[in-house]
Amino acid sequence: MAAGDGRTMQYHLNRLAGTLNANDVPRFDAQGAANIWASTSGLALQGALNRKAGTSGLAVQGALNKLAGTSGLGVNEAAARITA
């Protein structure tokens, strides 16, 4: 997925979690997809992303930028740049 593709963080977290349906539609909200991707359960969105990033205390935007290897991007664009 190209950065700035107009898709939401929810879409990209489902893409990363492998939970897009056959019509390319997210099956989970952002929190649910983040927990699946991070192999966690019941964490808030921020907690699941921090766990996946191997950090703690970062805001959602900061955790997504860390996972994307970027800084200063908005949540949708940072999520779009994450490849695995």
* pLDDT digits 0-9 by tens, 13-64: 999 999 999 999 999 999 999 999 999 999 999 999 999 999 999 999 999 9
Give residue 84's pLDDT band: very low, low, confident or very high (50, 70, 90).
confident
Whole-prediction pTM: 0.93
Predicted confidence at residue 25, as pLDDT, reads 97
**Burial of residue 70, with CB atoms counted within 10 A of its CB: 0-12 exposed, 13-18 middle, 19 or more buried:** middle
| Rounded Cα–Cα distance for residues 52 and 48 (Å) | 6
Does 12 score more than 80 pLDDT? Answer: yes
Q: Where are the domains of the chain?
A: 9-81
Give Cβ neighbours of residue 7 (< 8 Å, ≥ 6 apart): 1, 76, 80
pLDDT above 70 for 2: no
